[in-house]
């Protein structure tokens, strides 16, 4: 096998109560990545369609992630990478994670799978470090593993994968303003009150319990964030209105997707998720803001292989 084409999915990180630790994989077709073996022992990004991103390995999240893998798994050949970006950069929908996770997944396939999928997380994290300044795993882990993921620990890295309830759907709305993840991170405070932190870990625990017990109400009530949302939310146009609209139309809960500006809601059932999407769209229509809207079930499988030969 010397050719592979994969599609790396949209992911939602943080999920309100789990800053830097929680993530969710969606069934929205994301970045298309083609990787070919080449004789020359180098990694070369040959094209980048749909986004104005550098092709140099050291400046590109996919290049950085690929090199991290190949520093550890030596080969006497190389790879050419072509990326079609479908997830907008700076949207809060895991754009950098899709490219980072996608390329290491694809190369691992071409290498004959020397690594289990979950071992690829640490390579993909190098891409995240380039994108946001922080080697977080809460997008790359769900992109690779599918479902919900919890980063129990970063040092050593331990990721727990959890299935969500089957009838859970996400609504994501992406207003067309760009936030660079590094900027979104720099606005955060370095300290939080112990009271807010304890409230947050109560909610995180409730969220995890809700996933295992398939308790939709508990999942929704746990989507609470007094730490990051009050700081980042003010930079998202119509944020409070979006949340109110989601709640009024039956969403279990809502919050900022990743570092924003996209806003997500979780709902029980596709019909409710669509109603919530319409209500959130109305908010941006009335504000005369351009946006994209997505409705998706949970993607249990992560990255999809479209072709290999």
Three-state secondary structure call for residue 287: coil
Interface with its own copies, residue 99, by CB under 8 A? no
How far apart are alpha carbons 171 and 279 in whole angstroms? Answer: 11
CB of 74 to its own copies, least distance (A): 32
Cβ proximity to its own copies, 214 vs 274, nearer residue = 214
Instruction: Find the binder of its own copies among 20, 109, 163, 270 (CB under 8 A).
Output: 20
How far apart are alpha carbons 121 and 125 in whole angstroms? Answer: 6
Cβ proximity to its own copies, 61 vs 150, nearer residue = 150
How far apart are alpha carbons 212 and 201 in whole angstroms? Answer: 17
Three-state secondary structure call for residue 57: helix
Cβ proximity to its own copies, 22 vs 303, nearer residue = 22
| Orientation of helix 95-110 relative to helix 121-132, angle to 10° | 150
CB of 162 to its own copies, least distance (A): 7
How far apart are alpha carbons 218 and 32 in whole angstroms? Answer: 35
Please give the sequence-ordered ranges of beta strands (E in DSSP) within 39-124, or none if there are none: 43-49, 78-84
Among 141, 147, 140, CA closest to 165: 147
CB of 239 to its own copies, least distance (A): 21
| Binders in 240-299 for its own copies, by CB under 8 A | none
Contact region with its own copies (CB under 8 A), list: 118-126, 154-162, 280-288, 296-304:
154-162
Cβ proximity to its own copies, 116 vs 194, nearer residue = 194
| Binders in 180-219 for its own copies, by CB under 8 A | 188-195, 197-209, 212-213, 218
Q: Which residues bind its own copies (CB under 8 A)?
A: 17-22, 150-154, 158, 160, 162, 188-195, 197-209, 212-213, 218, 221-222, 224, 227
């Amino acid at each position: 096998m010397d050719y592979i084409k994969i599609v790396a999915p949209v992911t939602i990180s943080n999920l309100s109560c789990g800053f830097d630790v929680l993530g969710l994989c969606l069934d929205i077709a994301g970045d298309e990545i083609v990787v070919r073996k080449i004789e020359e022992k180098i990694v070369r990004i040959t094209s980048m369609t749909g986004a104005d991103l550098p092709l140099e390995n050291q400046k590109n999240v996919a290049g950085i992630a690929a090199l991290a893998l190949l520093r550890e798994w030596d080969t006497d050949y190389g790879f050419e990478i072509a990326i079609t970006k479908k997830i907008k950069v700076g949207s809060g929908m895991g754009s950098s994670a899709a490219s980072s996770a996608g390329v290491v997944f694809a190369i691992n396939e071409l290498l004959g799978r020397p690594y289990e999928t979950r071992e690829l997380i640490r390579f993909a994290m190098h891409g995240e470090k380039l994108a946001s300044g922080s080697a977080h795993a809460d997008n790359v882990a769900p992109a690779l593993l599918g479902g919900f993921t919890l980063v129990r620990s970063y040092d050593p890295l331990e990721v727990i994968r959890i299935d969500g309830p089957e009838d859970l759907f996400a609504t994501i709305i992406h207003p067309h303003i760009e936030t660079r993840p590094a900027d979104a991170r720099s606005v955060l405070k370095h300290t939080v009150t112990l009271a807010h932190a304890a409230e947050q870990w109560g909610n995180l625990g409730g969220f995890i319990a809700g996933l295992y017990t398939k308790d939709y109400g508990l999942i929704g009530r746990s989507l609470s964030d007094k730490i990051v949302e009050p700081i980042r939310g003010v930079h998202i146009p119509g944020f409070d209105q979006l949340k109110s609209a989601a709640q009024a139309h039956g969403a279990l809960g809502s919050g900022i997707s990743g570092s924003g500006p996209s806003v997500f809601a979780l709902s029980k059932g596709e019909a409710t998720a669509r109603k919530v999407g319409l209500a959130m769209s109305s908010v941006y229509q009335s504000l005369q803001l351009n946006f994209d809207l997505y409705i998706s079930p949970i993607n249990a499988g992560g990255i999809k292989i479209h072709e290999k030969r």
